[in-house]
Each structure stands twice: as structure tokens, then as C-alpha cells.
Amino acid sequence: MTVLYYLKQYQLTIDGTERIFTITDCEEWARKLKSAGEPVAVYLHPGNEGQDLSGFLYAVEDPEDIDMAYMEKACRRMLGMPWEILETARCVVRETMVEDVDDFYEIYSEPEITKHMDNLYPEKEQEKEYIRQYIEQVYTFWEFGVWTVVEKASGAVIGRAGFSYREGYEEPEIGFIIGVPWQRKGYAEEVCRAILAYGKETLGFGKVQALVRPGNDASIKLCGKLGFQEEGVVSIDGVEHIRLSL
């Protein structure tokens, strides 16, 4: 026998702040909580099939089987708080926030950065809107993407790194960028090694590719140190790239 109007609340501590996470099968309660900015997941079962429970980021079929780690991640997503992906000796890799955009423009203002990769949008608000959509459509769907790299010692945003899928290729692609002031200090290798391990151990990736423009000797050298092998040259949107795989 199914039970209608299930509602259970959990108290979580996230970044030092108490939060209430709710699971309910009632459309009315779910929409009230969502409108109030409270994190809520909907419980789907045969008894509430007639309710409109669309438009919610998280839905569960067995609410009693949800662990606290899942609830914390779901709560962070609904509150717009980034997930921390991993740590290295000197860096934290976390999801990107809209607030990172100003730092990105500082990093990309160096000609050396955009010499071998695409630039940001001309206007900051365009880039911020892109990040908002990326969080909603990429992080939420895939639970991975290109992340922000933060230096532990200073708290500064020093670059970006992570995985993406490129149209026409089955393998995930690793991408990375470290701002000029932090280059030649081993940050890129340190972060990329950790991300590759995360891709294999947590995301279940087998083969990973890298696509590097000819002339980007630093990235090609780093890929070699990481164990990538060159597989030839491919054209992407009319631009030649060296394809490497691991």
C-alpha cells in the first residue's frame, strides 16, 4: 500500500550553516518549499502519479535509502553552492561559481593564455550567464565538467581544469589552464594527475583524450609527462589540433 503525503526533513550542517533538506511526495508542499528557496527533493511512487512533480532537480524512488552524502550534494546544488571535487597538496578543485568570472577575466587577459585557446565572451554578463547555464545543464546532468582550481595557501582562483565531451568523439577530453603568475610551479601537473585519477576511479573513465593546438609546447610536454600518446592531427572547426590519448 502506498502512502501519500510523505514528508521527512533532515538537518544538515553545510559550511558551518544549519540547513533543512526535505523529501516529500506532495506537490503542494514541494512547490511551497522550492518557492521559499528551500532545498527539496520529490518522492515518486504510484500513489502520486497524478501530481505534477516536474521541474525539481532531484527525485527519489526510495527515500529511506538516501544517505547523508547524497543529501548534502543535492542540498548544495539547490542552494547554488559548489561541490568540492578533490584536493591536492596545494590546490582545491571545485565547481565553478558565477563569482569566479572576474578572476577568469584576469587570467585570460594575458595574451599567452588566449594564444592557444578560445577566449571568454566579450562581456562579463555573457560569461556569467554561460556559467549559470553550465551549472544547471552540465554539472547537474553529468555531475562533472570543467572546474575551478583554487590555491589553498592564498584562496586565489588560479585556473580551470576538468573533463568535457566534444561532438564527434566518444572519449572524454581533459582540459586545463593555469594563470601566468602560477605557471612553471608544477600546479598543472599536480592538478591534472589528480583529475585523471578522479576520472578513472570515481567517474569510471577508461580512455581519455587531449586536443592541443600545434605550438602549445607547454601543454604537449605536460601531456607527455602525464602519459598521453600522440595519435595524429585532427581539424576542429577548421583549426588543427594534435590529438593525444591516455
> Domain containing 181 — which CATH number?
3.40.630.30
Q: pLDDT (tens digit, 9 = 90+) per residue, 61-86? A: 999 888 898 899 999 999 989 999 99
**Grid cell of 10 as nine digits:** 533532515
Count of domains forming the chain: 2
In a shared domain, residues 174 and 62: no
In a shared domain, residues 44 and 152: no
In a shared domain, residues 215 and 139: yes
| pLDDT grade for 4, boundaries at 50, 70 and 90 | low
In a shared domain, residues 92 and 73: no
Angle in degrees, 0-180, between the axes of helices 187-201 and 217-225, rounded to the nearest 10 = 50
- The separation between CA 72 and the C-alpha centre of its own chain, rounded to angstroms, equals 16
Task: Say whether pTM exceeds 0.85.
Answer: yes
User: In terms of DSSP H, where are the helices of 22-100?
Assistant: 27-35, 68-79
Query: Where a domain ends, among 55, 79, 103?
Result: 79
In a shared domain, residues 133 and 177: yes
| pLDDT grade for 196, boundaries at 50, 70 and 90 | very high
Query: Where a domain ends, among 50, 79, 108?
Result: 79
Query: Where a domain ends, among 61, 79, 97?
Result: 79
CA 171 to CA 177: how far, in whole Å?
A: 20
pLDDT exceeds 60 at position 232: yes
In a shared domain, residues 35 and 106: no
Residue 121 lies in a domain: yes
Residue 1 lies in a domain: no
In a shared domain, residues 98 and 128: yes
In a shared domain, residues 159 and 183: yes
Q: pLDDT (tens digit, 9 = 90+) per residue, 127-148? A: 999 999 999 899 988 999 999 9
| pLDDT grade for 1, boundaries at 50, 70 and 90 | very low
Task: Name the residue range of residue 58's domain.
Answer: 7-79
